[in-house]
């Protein structure tokens, strides 16, 4: 009925094939994780280095982010140092 509509979706076509090379998006990280797990089994101290590296990286990133926010706040406060005072008087009765 609505097969010619641009919004029509054929759910049971059976001809779906992922794009070429898309399988590597799953295979490469999977292989890397297996190799990392084997390396940790062989050298347990490697896990301590990985955890310490992740914590150090997170600390550096959060410190940099906080510093940038602080500088941005200071810069915006400098632009607001000029204050204006508006006096509003009631309108005169006519």
56 confidence band (pLDDT: 50, 70, 90): very high
Q: What is the pLDDT of residue 43?
A: 93
Condensed to tens digits (0 to 9), the pLDDT of residues 2-49 reads 556 666 555 555 566 677 777 888 899 999 999 999 999 999 999 999
Examine residue 51 and state whether it is found in any structural domain, yes or no: yes
Number of compact structural domains in the chain: 1
| DSSP codes joined into one string, 34-48 | HHHHHHHHH-THHHH
* Structural domain for 68, as ranges: 44-73
N- to C-terminal Cα separation, the chain: 71
Does residue 55 fall inside a structural domain?
yes
Residue 19 lies in a domain: no
25 in a structural domain = no
Over residues 60-86, the pLDDT tens digits come to 999 999 999 998 888 777 766 556 677
Look up residue 41 and give its two tokens.
Answer: 């089994």
Task: Give the confidence band of 1 by pLDDT, cuts at 50, 70, 90.
Answer: low
**3-class secondary-structure state, position 78:** helix
The verdict on residue 31 lying in a domain is no
């Amino acid at each position: 009925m609505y097969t010619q509509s641009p919004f029509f979706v054929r759910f049971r076509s059976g001809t779906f094939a992922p794009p070429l090379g898309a399988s590597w998006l799953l295979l490469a990280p999977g292989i890397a994780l297996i190799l990392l797990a084997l390396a940790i089994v062989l050298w347990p101290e490697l896990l301590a280095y990985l955890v310490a590296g992740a914590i150090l990286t997170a600390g550096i990133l959060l410190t940099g982010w906080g510093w940038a926010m602080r500088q941005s706040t200071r810069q915006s406060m400098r632009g607001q140092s000029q204050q204006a005072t508006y006096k509003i008087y009631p309108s005169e009765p006519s």
